[in-house]
Structure 1
Amino acid sequence: MFMKTFGWSFGITAVALVVAFIYGGLEALILCAILGVLEVSLSFDNAVVNARILEKMSAFWQKMFLTVGILIAVLGMRIAFPLLIVGVTANLNPVQAVSLALEKGDIHTPGTYAYLLHDAHPQIAAFGGVFLLMLFLDFMFEEREIRWIGFLEKPLAFIGRLHGASMAIALVVLVASAAMVRPGKEVDVLIAGILGMVTYMLVNGLGDMFDVDGDGDTDAEDTDAESAKIARKSNKGVGKAVGKAAFMLFLYLEIIDASFSFDGVIGAFAITSDPIIIALGLGLIGAIFVRSLTVFLVREGTLDEFEYLDHGAHWAIGALSVILLLTISIEINEVVTGVIGVVFIGAAFISSIIRNKRLNTNDSPKVEQLSN
């Protein structure tokens, strides 16, 4: 299963590294590898959240996520999105934006591609930070039987009883972030953050409409938890969304996936301003490995086996949102962002193993009594 899921990712990685070496020698190869590792480390939480949505789709739509979806992730977010930002910021047409990108100007030189993208960072960070903050808060504000960090999650669930709490908190955080930005950018940051909030509400509404959380009906028949787990293992599609519902879930998934890309796309320019190297490392290597990891989590039923992974992923999302909003006014190394995400996911994974062992130990005497 591992090589079946990740085999072609390793193959594409090898091709990308070879192309990078041919394009720019050993330095380009090293930069490409660094960007790939950076993207994967930043996207563990992305993979967990994606997997929870993807597990509701049939095998066909899972393949669509790995094929059409990867084109959207690579061409859309890793290549077209930065070009769009630069084009709008500098009032350039697409051809001029591409030409400027290929000049590989330094990030500190006014007028270069990297400089213009870096200059637009406050707006991008405000949009992505508010979007992810609301995603984190809505998860934590729900009443749940299972909690990971109980002393924090219990009071958050209590706050969540207040209608519109996530929106109110996000607005307060956005205003505070705009107050700290350099003069002249305040209005831009506020507008970008409000747009991020509106986008989240629209995307979340779309998810509720098509039962992303799995609490309602989809186009397929409902099944009990055990049947759903078997379906995921066998990949036969029992209880999976199909047709129109699956297509809308696919769109929802792509929007969620795109929102996680902001930090990686902007952070890449701190390492290199060469769009070819960024496309190879961030796009091909990073994005494809994240998608393979997502599918692996779905097919192995990992999220049901390790209950705290969902929580760890959303705590990582919360940390990422705070970091994005802080970077509006201060510089934070992208490695810090990646390490925090890995720490939360790793801690949640270890906690899940401990929980499973404890539950198995508690169940053993009952099984023994029944056998007698």
Structure 2
Amino acid sequence: MILRTFGWSFTITGLGLIAAFLYGGVSGFVLVAILAVLEISLSFDNAVVNAKILERMSAFWQKIFLTIGIAIAVFGMRLVFPLAIVSITAQLSPIEAIELAFTDEKAYADQMHDAYPMIAAFGGMFLLMLFLDFVFEERSEKWLPWLERPLARIGKLDQLSVVIAGVALAAISGYFADNPGEVMIAGVLGMVTYILVNGLGELFAEAGEDELEEEGEKSSGPSELAVATGKAAFFLFLYLEVLDASFSFDGVIGAFAISTDPVVILLGLGIGAMYIRSLTVFLVRKGTLHEYVYLEHGAHWAIGALATCMLISIGSHVNEWITGGLGAGLIIAAFVTSVLRNRREGAAEEAGSEDKPLHTTQV
């Protein structure tokens, strides 16, 4: 199971590290390894959220996400996206942006850092909306009941997520951003993107479930989640790609603090992205989210922490290891509490079975 799921990741790791050594020697090898660890630590919560969405998709669309999706994630977000940002912000042609990346790495990195407030505003607002929609929804299982219960109660107020996200964006752009207009526009676009893609995904998913109900084919149990096909699966795929892009923003920008070489960044973050995809598949195939019920909660609280760090970083730099540490810490805490919960329930079931009287048959 481990080899089958992580086999491609192990292969890409080996090839990537060999390429890094041939390209940059020992220094390139070490930098690529550090970047891979950074990407995994920053995006671990992404794998949990991806798995929750991926299990709602048909097998065909799961393969699309794991093939075409990984190409978009590795080459699109880790190579093309930085070049596109530099091209737009520096008003350069794509060819000139590529030449800048390989001939003047410092100027290339400076352009990326100058564009960071807009990138952080877009990605931060997208992730903040995702986090708020989760914590404001009533759920049977609560990881932090003392906090999640009142949040779910006030979440009954319609469009509260939009209100809070809008106020946060206004405060950040008005008091902390050097270019408030650009930050405000980018943040609003992040909110609109989330509402549009998430709304369309849910709309077509519900339509697909209605069709199955009419045909009498709807199943029960966890398998009923994997019903999204056609338009529903397509919009879930778009949602996953935008979500993955939002998670990637922090890692891509943070990578420039470690190396400004686009090849080193591509290799390091690409290796990390492969492990996130493999981990997503592992969680789906093992049914881990059903067994460890608080993992989803921990992932969304980690998303909230990441969104907060991204928005704060618009006005003040937040170290990437802090962001990654917060996310990993919340995921680990959610896993540990899930294990303790399962043990308590198992002990309670055993105690209940021992208390039941034995029935004897009288002859």
TM, length-normalised to structure 1 = 0.91
Match of 1:321 among 304, 307, 310: 307
The 1-side partners of 2:306 and 2:346 are apart by 34
Q: Deviations over 1:116-146 (max 9, x none)?
A: 1100111111111111111000000001111
Matched, 1:312 2:312: no
Q: Specify which of 312, 318, 339 is matched with residue 353 of structure 1.
A: 339
> Which residue is equivalent to 2:188?
194
Distance 2:48 2:218 in 1: 23
- Map of 1:279 onto structure 2: 266
Unpaired segments of 5 or more residues in structure 2? Answer: none
Of the candidates 206, 219, 222, which is equivalent to residue 223 of structure 1? Answer: 219
CA drift of 1:365 comes to: 3.3
- Say if 2:56 and 2:227, in contact at 8 Å, map to a contact too: yes
Distance of aligned partners of 1:219 and 1:64 in 2 relative to their CA distance in 1, 3 Å threshold: farther
Change beyond 3 A, Cα 1:139–1:182? closer
Give the 3 Å change call, closer, same or farther, for CA 218–279 of structure 1 in structure 2. farther
- Residue 64 (str. 1) matches residue 67 (str. 2): no
Secondary structure of the 1:163 match is coil
CA distance in 2, matches of 1:182, 1:172: 15
Measured in 2, the distance between the counterparts of 1:71 and 1:114 equals: 23
Task: Say whether 1:119 aligns with 2:106.
Answer: no
Aligned residue runs from structure 1 range 1-372, under 5 A: 1-106=1-106, 112-183=107-178, 185-211=179-205, 217=210, 221-225=217-221, 228=222, 231=223, 239-283=226-270, 285-368=271-354, 369=356, 372=359
CA contact (8 A) 2:56 2:225 kept: no
Q: C-alpha distance in 2, partners of 1:218/1:277?
A: 48
CA gap of 1:288–1:343, structure 2 versus 1, over 3 A, is same
d(CA) in 1 for partners of 2:111 and 2:351? 65
Superposed displacement of residue 179, structure 1: 2.4
Task: Verify the 8 A CA contact 1:210 1:249 in the aligned structure 2.
Answer: no
Instruction: Please name the residue that 1:109 is paired with.
Output: none
State the one-letter code of the partner of 1:341.
G
How far residue 56 of structure 1 moved from its aligned partner, in angstroms, is: 1.6
How far does the alpha carbon of each residue in 1:329-357 deviate from its partner, in whole angstroms, 9 at most, with x for none?
A: 11111011111000000000000001111
Residues 51 and 219 of structure 1: CA distance in aligned 2, closer, same or farther (over 3 Å): farther
Contact 1:218 1:240 in 2 (8 A): no
**Matched letter for residue 169 of structure 2:** L
* Aligned mates of 1:247, 1:182 — CA distance in 2: 36
- How far apart, in 1, do the equivalents of 2:182 and 2:36 lie? 31
Counting helix residues as a fraction of each chain, which structure ranks higher?
Answer: 2
Between the aligned partners of 1:201 and 1:248, the Cα distance in structure 2 is 12
Which entry has the higher C-alpha Rg, 1 or 2? 2
Q: Deviations over 1:83-141 (max 9, x none)?
A: 111111011111111111112422xxxxx111011001111111111111110000000
Amino acid paired to 2:136: F
Higher mean Cα deviation, 24-33 or 174-183? 174-183
SS of residue matched to 1:252: helix
Offset, 1:260: 1.0
RMSD of aligned C-alpha atoms?
2.0
In the alignment, the residues of structure 2 paired with residue 314 and residue 366 of structure 1 have an alpha-carbon distance, to the nearest angstrom, of 34
Structure 1 residue 218, shift from structure 2 partner: 6.9
Contact persistence 2:55–2:226 (CA under 8 A): no
Residues 219 and 241, structure 1, Cα contact 8 Å, conserved in 2? no
| Structure 1 alignment gaps of length 5 or more | 107-111, 232-236
Tell me how far apart the structure 2 counterparts of residues 47 and 238 of structure 1 sit (CA, whole Å). Answer: 17
- State the distance in 2 between where 1:218 and 1:189 align: 42
User: What is the letter of the counterpart of residue 270 of structure 1?
Assistant: A
How far apart are residue 210 of structure 1 and its match?
A: 3.1
**Paired residues of 1:132 and 1:318 also in contact (CA < 8 A):** yes
- Contact 2:136/2:156 (CA < 8 Å) preserved in 1? yes
Structure 1 residues 88 and 147, CA, compared in 2 at 3 Å: closer, same or farther?
A: same
The AA in structure 2 aligned to 1:245 is A
Shift of 1:223: 2.2
Structure 1 residues 209-259: Cα deviation after superposition (integer angstroms, max 9, x where no partner): 1338x995576943222xx3xx5xxxxx99533334323322222122111
Q: State the AA in 1 paired with 2:260.
A: S
Question: Percent identical across equivalent pairs?
Answer: 57
In 1, are the aligned partners of 2:136 and 2:153 still within 8 Å (CA)? yes
Q: Residue 348 of structure 1: SS of its match in structure 2?
A: helix
